[in-house]
């Protein structure tokens, strides 16, 4: 049983992108069915934030905080993309309800989620399950410049603004 447990941990170990890694190209739809690719952001600075599920308390707090600081982040040259495995309809409802000025990717087949390496084993209240780990990547011209592993949902924009690479 111990050996099986070790094997399973290796299988489910996330291969998260790190600083200096090139972001693989992806093609996925946003909340309105528009196709978004990494190529669209090739020469730009972009904040790619991953969240477990639209309209849940932590995800709402995080996305609303980014919305509230959107102008400040744009002034630093950033565009923002939110990503979860929710459907286009759920993402659209989430975006419309909270008036987010940035796209939310409906990554139902987990292409982007797995490309960034944020899908993996999670633990909550003694239960283990597979899911999206809340992480944010600051990408400059297609390369990871900074990774925020411990996202503070209510003050996430300040975490980004205070990072060394936002300038």
Active-site positions read: 59
Closest alpha carbon to 53 in 13, 89, 91, 80: 91
Q: CA 70 to CA 55: how far, in whole Å?
A: 19
Phi-psi label, residue 9: left if phi above 0, alpha if psi -120 to 50, beta otherwise:
alpha
The CA–CA distances, whole Å, from 17 to 13, 26, 36, 65, 157 equal 13, 14, 20, 24, 21
């Amino acid at each position: 049983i111990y050996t099986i447990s070790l094997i399973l941990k290796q299988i489910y170990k996330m291969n998260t992108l790190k600083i200096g890694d090139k972001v693989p190209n992806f093609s996925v739809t946003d909340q309105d069915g528009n196709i978004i690719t990494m190529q669209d952001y090739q020469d730009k600075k972009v904040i790619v934030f991953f969240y477990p599920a639209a309209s849940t308390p932590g995800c709402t707090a995080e996305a609303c905080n980014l919305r509230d600081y959107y102008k400040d982040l744009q002034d630093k040259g950033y565009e923002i993309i939110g990503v979860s495995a929710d459907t286009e309809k759920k993402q659209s409802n989430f975006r419309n309800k909270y008036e987010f000025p940035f796209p939310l990717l409906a990554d139902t087949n987990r292409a982007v989620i797995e490309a960034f390496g944020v899908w993996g084993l999670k633990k909550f209240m003694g239960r283990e399950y597979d899911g999206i780990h809340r992480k944010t990547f600051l990408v400059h011209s297609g390369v990871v410049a900074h990774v925020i592993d411990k996202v503070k949902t209510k003050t996430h924009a300040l975490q980004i603004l205070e990072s060394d690479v936002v300038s």
